[in-house]
């Protein structure tokens, strides 16, 4: 009888752990058409991503990003959100997008009819949005959070907004996003 291979039989010289892990994610070809493809990719990558608290790294005090995948069609980012961190109101330069929470809880703040609507997104849940979507994403929880964000086409710019005197949002600045950048 032959003994099956176990994880301890695998060499530890893996030079592309994210490639190996992402290969187990939901493949876009399994997309049924009921949900935007960016949401399927985000949920699949989130299902195989490791929360920061399980990596053994020290707890950061600032939000950090890691590029997981970059294709001509989309890019995917792993973002770690320490307690109390967030990203002010912004868009994604016309890209459609999705984010899926790996661990912790994130809150998405969206303006709707002049009022802020807060959507709480827990581990295992995801959000998809169109190219004109403006939102803020914040970790108001008591523990760090980790999430996967996917954008199609890949991000090239992000506009950040400030509330004007009349209560409406106005573009405050536009940041260009280069592959490998940490702004997400």
93-151 pLDDT per residue, tens:
999 999 999 999 999 999 888 889 999 999 999 999 999 999 999 999 999 999 999 99
Please tell me the number of Cα atoms within 13 Å of 66 on its side-chain side. 13
Residue 57: per-residue pLDDT: 60
d(CA 78, CA 110): 22
pTM of the model: 0.77
Q: Which residues contact 5 (CB under 8 A, 6 or more apart)?
A: none
Residue 177 pLDDT level (bands cut at 50, 70, 90): confident
Chain position carrying tokens 């949900």: 35
Mean pLDDT over residues 39-51, rounded?
91
């Amino acid at each position: 009888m032959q003994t099956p291979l176990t994880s301890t039989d695998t060499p530890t010289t893996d030079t592309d752990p994210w490639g190996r892990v992402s290969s187990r994610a939901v493949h876009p070809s399994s997309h049924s058409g009921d949900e935007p493809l960016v949401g399927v990719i985000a949920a699949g990558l989130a299902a195989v991503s490791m929360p920061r608290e399980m990596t053994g790294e020290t707890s950061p005090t600032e939000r950090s990003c890691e590029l997981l995948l970059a294709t001509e069609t989309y890019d995917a980012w792993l973002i770690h959100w320490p307690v109390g961190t967030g990203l002010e109101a912004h868009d994604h330069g016309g890209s459609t997008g999705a984010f899926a929470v790996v661990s912790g809880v994130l809150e998405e703040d969206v303006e709707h009819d002049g009022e802020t609507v807060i959507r709480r997104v827990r581990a295992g849940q995801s959000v998809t949005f169109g190219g004109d979507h403006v939102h803020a994403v914040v970790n108001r929880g008591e523990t760090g959070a980790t999430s996967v964000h996917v954008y199609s086409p890949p991000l090239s710019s992000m506009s950040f907004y400030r509330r004007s005197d009349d209560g409406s949002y106005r573009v405050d600045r536009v940041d260009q996003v280069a592959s490998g950048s940490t702004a997400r």
